[in-house]
Amino acid sequence: MTVGGGFSDPRVAFQQAERVRRAGIAALVVLLLLAARFFDLQVLHVRDYRQRALAQSSRAVTLLPERGLIVDRNGELVVGNQPGYRLRFYPDLATSSAATWQFLERHLTRVPRDLRERFEYAVRRRPYRPETLVDLLARDDLARVAAHGREYPELRIETVPLRRYPWGDLAAHLLGYLGEINDTELEQYADLNLYAPGDIIGKLGLERQYDPLLFGTKGKRTFRVDAGGRIQQLIHEDPARPGWNLVLTIDLDVQQAAEAALGERRGAVVAIEPNSGDILAIVSRPSYRPDLFIGGISHENWERLRSDPGHPLEYRPVRGQYPPGSTFKPLIALAALKEEVIRPDETIYCPGYYRLGRRVFRCWRPGGHGKVDLHRALVESCDTYFYEVGRRLGIERIAAYARLFGFGSSTGLDLDVEKHGLVPDPDWHERTGRGPWQEGDTLNVAIGQGSLLVTPLQLARFYGALATHGQLPAAHVRHHFEDKGRPAVIDPPPLAGGRTVDYPESLYAPVVEALEDVVSARHGTGGWARIRGVRVAGKTGTAQVVRQHTRDQELDTHLRDHAWFAAWAPVDNPRIAVAVIVENGGHGGSAAAPVARKVIEAWLDKVGLR
């Protein structure tokens, strides 16, 4: 029937029922989705969402670790720690950077000269990264900033690790100093996942070399805070772990003796244990006070150090390169004996000069030494004898033996600042545009002059090899790390290995006997190094600064020869080898040998051999 007759159309009823069914299904789906979301929130990810909610009402504070100490081989403190405070600026927390700057201008009294530059850099270029405004807050400034902490949450006082140097400038070049990490260093150390912007790290010396081990591991404190950001409760603490303590091979007493013996003269001292390669003392003069770098060195102090004519920033024991002078003659003797170009008893006549074609090469003694054999040539340091021996050897063999005994290459020192000196040869001469090698060049090298360059550390190591008849251990200043059971971020890098020089044992004897007489014989040039009851062997040397035709004492100080002395003791039980250079000191016997004697005495006293 029609709709108008009172009966419903079955198609309409079906459509209505279908709509109801679909609406029910949709409602059911919504309910199931809500139930699933509820299950997700309350069951599956409840921990994640709790942490997110907690993060919105909590604050994490990084705990900086205490830096590892540096101690000498006997556990005596060399570098310690002291607390310090710096001012950091968080631009994203500032409501008005202008107001922040006005506060700083009004309340800070002792600030770096580039404070404004640091502040503006943070605001304009790094708004989401904190910037250090004051590296080391003065006590009064610290109190004023702390009193206004709630008004200026963007200004935070942070504790920073500062070093304490109980011995002043002792071994300053070796130890190095600290400074704030820069972007290049952040990238360099990125794989360690150890550092963040603003961290204080080693910038030079051992502080830099072993920073990942000295630095320690950061900790964290998490606090519950209220809506205003005020701390209400400590939620969790993961403590910081201190860095490892670095134990040096240096002996504090020997180091102090070496520094006192050299005094304020320019130069270097290296004392090494011949069998192990342990560096017992290493001195560079002039030096600087490492506490100048605490909290960042001022521009004035930095410029003063850089412009000082004495070059106090130069690390002379490992980066100073000098002609070795007559301290190189024992190597020429060893080479000549092995190559059989001389016999120990063969004599060469010294009239006070040596002729090579039209050129005349002078001996240091104008009247000459007369007939000299190997022993007397070393004891009295006859140049003429070694001119002739050098000519017989030739530069190729001289260079080969110099490299065999460690010259011209790294000593294995566990600092990456070492220079290698120079062992010249004809290839080097041509390569550097100096033209063909001349025989006169060979004569100069044979007496330790000319283009030949060595570092004081290389020379000390060579004399250690003479003492031990060929043992050439790698030089090092790290004895070990005290880990105290704490895990390390990285393992300490292995120390370089040493080697034994391939040289006949029997051929050392004539050279060693002569070097002992350099110190003990009446005509020896090293008498100032004599120690009662101790057999000392050594060699004096002078390194020419300029060609001269006048007596050294008549020259201006800065033009005088450098004075060398290298030695070891006791001769038959070597415990220490020493190299000393006094820049512009004149004669090695009077200027450098007394320094070496005091260093040797200090160590022999420690080990009970004097």
Smallest CA-to-CA distance from 290 within 216, 208, 212, 199 is with 208
- Helix ranges restricted to H, 210-342: 211-215, 252-262, 299-307, 316-319, 329-339
Cα gap 488→476, rounded to integer Å:
21
Between strands 58-63 and 219-225, the pairing is antiparallel
SS3 567: strand
Q: Which of 285, 368, 377 is nearest to 326 (CA)?
A: 377
CA atoms within 13 A on the CB side of 183: 3
Q: Which of 326, 381, 410, 520 is catalytic?
A: 326
Q: Two tokens at 49?
A: 């969402």
What's the rounded Cα separation, in Å, for the pair 219 and 238? 5
Question: In whole angstroms, what is the distance from residue 563 CA to residue 582 CA?
Answer: 5
Cα four-point dihedral sign 311, 448, 503, 373: negative
Which residue intervals of 108-247 are DSSP H helices?
115-125, 139-147, 172-175, 183-188, 205-209, 211-215
CA distance 24 to 37: 20
Is-catalytic flag, 284? no
SS3 assignment, position 571: coil
Question: Pairing between strand 70-71 and 245-248?
Answer: parallel
**Which candidate, 328, 337, 341, places its Cα nearest to that of 508?**
337
Distance between CA atoms of 133 and 115, rounded to whole angstroms?
6
* Token digits of residue 295: 């909290």
Adjacent-strand bridge partners of 472: 499
Residue 154 token pair: 């963007």
Three-state secondary structure call for residue 279:
strand
- Dihedral pair phi/psi, residue 480, rounded to 5°: -170, 170
- Bridge partners of 350? 370
Nearest alpha carbon to residue 324 among 455, 512, 457, 419: 455
Token pair in block for residue 489: 């971020």
Q: Rounded distance, CA 566 to CA 526, Å?
A: 10
User: Contact 321/458 with Cβ under 8 angstroms?
Assistant: no
Helix (H/G/I), strand (E/B), else coil: 346: coil
Helix locations, 75-126, DSSP H: 97-107, 115-125
**How many Å apart are CA 187 and CA 382, to the nearest integer?**
56
On whether the CB atoms of residues 418 and 455 are closer than 8 A, the answer is: yes
Which secondary structure element, helix H or strand E, spans residue 597, and what is its range?
helix 593-606
SS3 208: helix
Q: How many C-beta neighbours within 10 Å does residue 291 have?
A: 16
Catalytic positions: 326
